[in-house]
Each structure stands twice: as C-alpha cells, then as structure tokens.
Amino acid sequence: MTASNFPDVVANLKWHDHAVTRTMREELNGHRGCTLWYTGLSGSGKSTLANEVSAALHAMGVRTYVLDGDNIRQGLNRGLSFSEEDRRENIRRIAEVAKLFSDAGLVTGAAFISPYREERALARSLQPDTFLEIHVKADLATCEKRDPKGLYAKARAGEIRQFTGIDAPYEEPQNPEVVVDTAKNSLADCARLVVHALKQRRLIP
Amino acid sequence: MTASNFPDVVANLKWHDHAVTRTMREELNGHRGCTLWYTGLSGSGKSTLANEVSAALHAMGVRTYVLDGDNIRQGLNRGLSFSEEDRRENIRRIAEVAKLFSDAGLVTGAAFISPYREERALARSLQPDTFLEIHVKADLATCEKRDPKGLYAKARAGEIRQFTGIDAPYEEPQNPEVVVDTAKNSLADCARLVVHALKQRRLIP
C-alpha cells in the first residue's frame, strides 16, 4: 500500500474522531468514568478514605485510580511552590488530569485539601456531569491530634506559614454531593456513603 | 466509632500503602499497564496510528487511553508557549501523566512529535520497564504532502518558525522498540506491528 491510503487517515486527527470513544470504554468497564473530589483539612482522612472507596469499588470490578499528594507532588507538580499562584496551578493541573482519567473511564479519586471554593469550582467546571465533591469533615482538634505528617505541630511552632486551618482559611463546600465526618464515623461507614452516591447517580451498577 | 480508630488509618497515607495496588488493577484488567510513546514528524500519522492501535486493543478487551495534542494542549498544557523551556515542560508533564496512566493499568498511547532524544529519554526513565518507543516514520516529502493541519505550508512561508523537519531538527530514535513506515505500509499493518510488540513483551495476553 502507498501513501495514497492516508488522506482518510489524516482526516482522523481530531478529538471527536478518536477510534475508541469514552462510551466504548465505559461499556467495556461496565460503569461510567467520573471523579470523586475529596476536600478537607490536613488529617481529615481524605487519602485514606479515597483508598478505602477505591478498594470497595475494585472488589466490585470497578476500575479505579487515586490521585493524591504521593503520586502528584514529586511527579507532575514537582517544582511548584506554595505561593498562591502555584497552589492554584497545582489544583488546576490535578483537575485537568482527573478529567482525563474520567474520560478514560475510571472512577478517579482526587484527594487534596483544596481549601478554596474557587479552585474546586474550576475542577467541577471541567466535567460538571461526572464530578462529585466529597467533603471530608473532621473538627480541627481531631485533625490536629492525628497530625499524620507532623504539619500542625510545625504550623503551631511557626515553622510553616499559611497552613490551612491554622493561619489560612478552609472554605467549606456549600453544596457537596457527599459529606462524611471521619471524627464520628468509621472509615467503612464513610466509604459506604461514597459508594452509595455513585450508585444513586447510576455511575456504577 | 471514634477518632481513636484513626491512628491505623493515618499510617496508611503513604504511596506503598495504597489499598489497591498496580498489580491488583492489572489483574482485574488481564494485562499490564504501559505506555506506547509515538514519536515522529508532524503528519507522520502518530495520532492516527495510536487510535488505530487503541481500537485493535479495545476489541481484544484491553483497557486503553490516548494522550495527544487534542486532549492535552487545551487542558493540562494550556498556556505553555513554544519556547525551548516550555516545550521541555510540555513533554515532561505528558511523560508524568503517561506514567500515572500506566500505573492505573491502562495501555496508554502518547502521540507527540517529541523531536529530542533527551526528552524521550526522560519519558522513558520515568517507567523504564513499561515504555515502548514507537518511531512513526514517513519521509518529509510525504508528511509535507499530507500536511493535515496546514503547518508545513505556514512553516515554508515563514509564518511558523522552529518547525520540526523544516527549521528545527528531528532527532531520530536510536533504539526504538518499534519502527513503522507509514508512507510504505498500511495503517492496519503498522498497528499490527505495535500490537505484536506488546504481546512479545507479555504486556498483553
């Protein structure tokens, strides 16, 4: 065959002509692609809950992936500082990657403090129909007692500045799809609420 | 239950403690996660081939996703210029996202000119065991004749500068896993070569 086969092929180079569509990927998986956006204070249990939900879904045959500080900060977002501009860019990139993962047909967890309503609104705006905001609540005293990374101690000692909940604001979600209180409920119970929200919206069977 | 349940949970916050591991995702999918990195001149057929391969794999029940200019440039990499620094950053981010998709258990296509050996070496270094470099060859005359986006015409007219193949170099891969010549072979034949390379390496059954 010769290059003359290629005119058809070349016409294919647009997004909407992708040979495998999102719908085809979702049909193969038996569920929709979507993003579970976990927001809350440091120590509220976002990553832990995201992984617990992922495990529950995986056991049901649902394809999942979790984006969190551990796989983003030293990779895609390496080099970003904690300046206001870089924090916005940090969340913007995560939101764009979450959108790609939803498009790929996975139930995608994104576990980041994301303290500002504006940045969460941006993340939602990229995929309004497949975005669930999960407010991972725990009172500050509980989070500070857990202090999994010792960051509250450093913030109290003035070694870290602009720490959410101490000297930087956390803007609570006004209309999240799910609210869980990890200070009062077990991890398993919190995970069940999230899985239920997915079923209710027919994102998973 | 009370917050006293959380110490165990909090200890979970490291990458290696993720509740669902890569191996578990790959077992659910029945194949490995990996990245097919398509490199070649504009008009060589990278995106087209990536989509063709994706379609062939999808028909076999393999989970796939394709990263290309259409879903990256206006999203994750919006705002990057064509300066040397930004072009490097462009490829770096794509390489990091491809690594995440491989980790998620998908056979990930990444179709970008990526003209420099150094940037492709970086992409490979992020996931050396699951990275296949596909050199999508087509002689410059053929690519220029296809000119799917009219970019060669603009480059020849001097409206675009530093265009790969015209006034910027394309550094051919020295040791790619697969070489396909889209000027001499059909799209289906080129796709078969890529699928074969995956089978040979036992990345897919």
Whether residue A14 lies inside any domain: the answer is no
d(CA B150, CA B144): 9
d(CA A126, CA A92): 10
- Does residue A114 have an active-site annotation? yes
DSSP notation for chain A: --GGGHHHHHTT-SGGG-SS-HHHHHHHHTS--EEEEEE--TTS-HHHHHHHHHHHHHHTT--EEEEEHHHHTTTTTTT--SSHHHHHHHHHHHHHHHHHHHHTT-EEEEE-----HHHHHHHHHTSGGGEEEEEEE--HHHHHHH-TTSHHHHHHTTSS-S-BTTTB-----SS-SEEEETTTS-HHHHHHHHHHHHHHTTS--
For residue A12, the model assigns a pLDDT of 38
CB contact under 8 A, A13 and B47: yes
Q: For the segment B38-55, what is each residue's pLDDT rounded down to a tens digit?
A: 999 999 999 999 999 999
Sign of CA dihedral B95, B112, A16, B77: positive
For residue B16, the model assigns a pLDDT of 35
pLDDT band for position B83 (cuts 50, 70, 90): confident
Question: The whole model's pTM is what?
Answer: 0.91
Whether residue A167 lies inside any domain: the answer is yes
pLDDT band for position B11 (cuts 50, 70, 90): very low
Check A42, A44, A47, A114 and give the catalytic one.
A114
Sign of CA dihedral A159, A160, A164, A167: positive
Query: Strand A64-68 and strand A107-111: pairing?
Result: parallel
Whether residue B139 lies inside any domain: the answer is yes
For residue A70, the model assigns a pLDDT of 87
For residue A4, the model assigns a pLDDT of 37
Q: For the segment B131-145, what is each residue's pLDDT rounded down to a tens digit?
A: 999 999 999 999 999
CB contact under 8 A, A75 and B182: no
For residue A170, the model assigns a pLDDT of 97
| Tokens representing residue B82 in the block | 């064509």
For residue B24, the model assigns a pLDDT of 97
Residues of B designated catalytic: 114
For residue B1, the model assigns a pLDDT of 33
Whether residue A11 lies inside any domain: the answer is no
Per-residue tens of pLDDT for chain A, all 205 residues: 333 334 444 333 333 355 899 999 999 999 999 999 999 999 999 999 999 999 999 999 999 999 999 899 999 999 898 888 999 999 999 999 999 999 999 999 999 999 999 999 999 999 999 999 999 999 999 999 999 899 999 999 999 999 999 999 999 999 999 999 999 999 999 999 999 999 999 999 9
Mutate to test the interface with A, among B20, B41, B185 (most CBs of A within 10 A): B20
Chain B nearest-CA distance from A182, in A, is: 7
Chain B nearest-CA distance from A81, in A, is: 16
Domain CATH number, residue A186: 3.40.50.300
Domain count across chain A: 1
Other CB atoms within 10 A of residue A53 CB: 30
Question: Bridge-partner residues for A110, per DSSP?
Answer: A37, A67
Please tell me which of the candidates A5, A48, A186 has its beta carbon nearest to residue B12.
A48
d(CA A12, CA B6): 52
Burial of B192 (0-12, 13-18, 19+ CB in 10 A): middle
Q: Is the pLDDT confidence value at B18 over 90? A: no
Whether residue B7 lies inside any domain: the answer is no
- The domain in which residue A91 lies consists of 33-200
Burial of B160 (0-12, 13-18, 19+ CB in 10 A): middle
Q: Which residue, A117, A41, A120, is CA-closest to B10?
A: A41
Q: How many residues does chain A have?
A: 205
Mutate to test the interface with A, among B2, B18, B101 (most CBs of A within 10 A): B18
